[in-house]
Structure 1
């Protein structure tokens, strides 16, 4: 059983609200943002941030190579709305991906895809943010762009094909960039960030759900005990969260802030967000008697408290929650051992990469930028990449004077490791394990939830 991601947002019985358009383009529904909400930034602050971001965007290579911690800090504060689309494309590496592809967006849109995929896409078009001005009109320009993006991705990746969770992701991107850019940005997300989430068997989602449930035991034992007592599968609540990147769960300001961090720091942001929401909803002793059974608990998770989802509260909680890539990798290995030991046939043993490394390519342009040190929040991609990186490092951990570095960031998965230059040398450091949050490797003491 899955949460229905295809259901449209519930109408709001307020004529005035339905006629007005908020600053994000919504005319109503759960995503509508009322003007004058506490926490909105003054216009002067917004202009100052825009100026800073313009400087970064115009000198992107330097900022990624030498000042990434400051860039990450600014992403956590929120990317200015006027520059969000451009920043997302640079963060995810969609432009190099497009440059390397031998297929253009228009060619993919014109390609033939299975009739079943076309029918599924048509069914879902009007369900994506029906209260947004871009998608409210059936057959309008917004829905046509959405159709083209989803059609193109099915042609680009026929193995996975179309899945309902792709449509909200594509719709969010279309609100910030043209259809062609949205397609390549979505392709980068599905290739580098959440690879395997839309496979036919949803194997990666199942594995990540087990990891989420196990991490909950460390983050909030009370909530974990409640979920275990009711035997609630993580697939019941984390499927929509992860596949839609919380686009259908959080208030819109929180969605955008979360996506800013997600593009910059990777999939660990999604785990942190889910754990924060579970802790806030189920971590209070006083609230548990109100939700004694599965139905009440799922209703609680479906109708989350607005205060818990406020962007400032939520982002602070996500940033301060001590869950790193090391924790995710350790828990993944642990869950695979448990699955193999128990002989659980419903969960396939799938490899998973939770780290992202900057590949250094910029449309074939070679630039000298100096050392690229301390990219800790992006980190190194798996032990194989770490070995490859260490092999290229000169003695004393310094670059040769004649070393050439290609510098545009693109997160890559383990399956797409590429040696870009024989003279490429860089010093990339991953986030070290948090001593205050060590996952136990004792399989006998571990408890998991199985589907």
Structure 2
């Protein structure tokens, strides 16, 4: 007889949507306005600076299908349109409701793109990017994210793989940490409100499967909220392969032991801040506030624990299309908004006040359309990020030695993933790469294969830090 998964609720327990606080008291999720800052606390961020990086590694077991937990939890009342309990202050933000006719028109345009996705991704990517920036229709968001990240093809090329991973035992070290972490992920969302509910079980399945799929990485606590957001939109198997693409293509190294990638991006981010908002840069420099103290949660959780929910979804729409550039831009825009004027800095006369502001950004200060417009208009390009990355890698080597993280593995969104896929197909079939005019280099082993081929391409094509300029950023 197969034992019950650790997160399965006891058959004798009565259904409940009460949430257990750390103090031990039970409270109803009324008037909740933002996610609880549990996974990446200020102290955990501070521990990064002292060299204790284990605080972000880190938790359970089997599950079931995506959807409401009403069967297990009992009836859930008072949810907003995103599934959050107890009011809409946090999740609604300032999202403008689209007219039904406009929404249907957008859905038809996306459905048309779905029917011939390769053509759109290769020849009309500028239009795809524009539509992602406008916002993907909620009814099609799951499908769009899977196509943008190429996770759908990954799923189709690995039939039954997720089920195989589920059947394996897994490392007890990771499973114990995952199990302890489940209840911390969006406890005021209907999917995750009850211990042992469908959402927590599926979250366990995904995180456990990833530790088996990538035993060299194991589990990092910041993966849990990312996986939870995916589960809010798609079934567990689809969410798993989407998580794989985020961890391997979009943010490689972010969730690995040592967290070199996020530390390196922190240095890149701080250097970009000096260009974008010198006033904020000087303020943070004055109080010796290292970027790792505030941007760790932003970047690793892709702002899912920071912004109003409508803004989170818009950021993720752009992120899946354009890659980490969007994460950098959103972070820079937030610092401009919080620290970009004399009046705002007048209230922040020390490190503590500044950190409190950055870690608890008032949701009413973040207007969805304003945020998106500022992100879109910010002149931080892939080329600029890659150039700054090269500078920071050299500084790292001079001061700390060699990196184990390989920055060249990162792909800048859909276009780069699509071109890498076609490069790999051309190489495996012995065909020509001439149909790909991009200057984006293939990552890691594929780059090495091309550079070692009998007929190497000019350095400008495969230079490790070269970036395509075919499509405006």
Q: TM-score, normalised by structure 2?
A: 0.74
Can you list the C-alpha shifts for 1:152-176, whole angstroms capped at 9, x where unaligned? 0011011110111011011111111
The equivalent residue for 2:84 is 26
Change (3 A) 1:166 1:255: same
Task: Report the CA distance between 1:333 and its aligned residue.
Answer: 1.6
The secondary structure found in structure 2 opposite 1:334 is: helix
Task: Report if the CA contact (8 A) 1:76-1:260 is conserved.
Answer: yes
Task: Report if the CA contact (8 A) 1:154-1:160 is conserved.
Answer: yes
Change (3 A) 1:200 1:207: same
The equivalent residue for 1:172 is 229
Can you list the C-alpha shifts for 1:322-341, whole angstroms capped at 9, x where unaligned? 11111111111211222333
Change (3 A) 1:236 1:11: farther
Change (3 A) 1:73 1:34: closer
Task: Report the CA distance between 1:344 and its aligned residue.
Answer: 3.7
Task: Report if the CA contact (8 A) 1:128-1:135 is conserved.
Answer: yes
The equivalent residue for 1:431 is 469
Can you list the C-alpha shifts for 1:409-439, whole angstroms capped at 9, x where unaligned? xxxxx8xxxxxxxxxxxxx9713799xx9xx
Task: Report the CA distance between 1:29 and its aligned residue.
Answer: 7.2
Task: Report if the CA contact (8 A) 1:78-1:257 is conserved.
Answer: yes
Corresponding residue to 1:335 among 392, 400, 406? 392
The equivalent residue for 2:336 is 279
The secondary structure found in structure 2 opposite 1:186 is: helix
The equivalent residue for 1:267 is 324
Residues 20-29 or 43-52, more deviating: 20-29
Change (3 A) 1:321 1:201: same
Aligned equivalents of 2:109, 2:435: Cα separation in 1: 21
Task: Report if the CA contact (8 A) 1:380-1:386 is conserved.
Answer: no
Aligned equivalents of 1:20, 1:13: Cα separation in 2: 9
Change (3 A) 1:160 1:385: closer
Corresponding residue to 2:258 among 201, 225, 232? 201
The equivalent residue for 2:61 is none
Aligned equivalents of 2:219, 2:95: Cα separation in 1: 39
Moved over 6 A (4+): 371-376, 389-393
The secondary structure found in structure 2 opposite 1:33 is: helix
Task: Report if the CA contact (8 A) 1:277-1:308 is conserved.
Answer: no
Corresponding residue to 1:240 among 285, 288, 297? 297
The equivalent residue for 1:403 is none
The equivalent residue for 1:409 is none
Change (3 A) 1:29 1:172: farther
Residues 327-336 or 273-282, more deviating: 327-336
The equivalent residue for 1:185 is 242
Task: Report if the CA contact (8 A) 1:94-1:184 is conserved.
Answer: yes
Task: Report the CA distance between 1:233 and its aligned residue.
Answer: 1.2
The equivalent residue for 1:288 is 345
Task: Report the CA distance between 1:216 and its aligned residue.
Answer: 0.6
Task: Report the CA distance between 1:351 and its aligned residue.
Answer: 2.8
Q: TM-score, normalised by structure 1?
A: 0.77
Aligned equivalents of 2:442, 2:378: Cα separation in 1: 22
Task: Report the CA distance between 1:304 and its aligned residue.
Answer: 1.6
Corresponding residue to 1:148 among 205, 208, 221? 205
Task: Report if the CA contact (8 A) 1:324-1:433 is conserved.
Answer: no
Residues 333-372 of structure 1: matches in 2 within 5 Å?
333-341=390-398, 343-344=399-400, 348=403, 350-353=405-408, 354-356=410-412, 357=416, 358=418, 359-360=420-421
Task: Report if the CA contact (8 A) 2:318-2:326 is conserved.
Answer: yes
Aligned equivalents of 2:448, 2:137: Cα separation in 1: 34
Aligned equivalents of 1:321, 1:272: Cα separation in 2: 7
Task: Report if the CA contact (8 A) 1:68-1:375 is conserved.
Answer: no
Residues 50-199 of structure 1: matches in 2 within 5 Å?
50-101=107-158, 104-199=161-256
Task: Report the CA distance between 1:388 and its aligned residue.
Answer: 5.1
Aligned equivalents of 1:319, 1:430: Cα separation in 2: 18
Residues 324-333 or 73-82, more deviating: 324-333
* Unpaired stretches in structure 1, ≥5 consecutive residues: 1-6, 394-413, 415-427, 438-451
Can you list the C-alpha shifts for 1:13-33, whole angstroms capped at 9, x where unaligned? 449xx9411111111378743
Aligned equivalents of 2:307, 2:238: Cα separation in 1: 24
Aligned equivalents of 1:323, 1:380: Cα separation in 2: 19
Task: Report the CA distance between 1:307 and its aligned residue.
Answer: 5.0
* Unpaired stretches in structure 2, ≥5 consecutive residues: 1-20, 33-75, 458-463
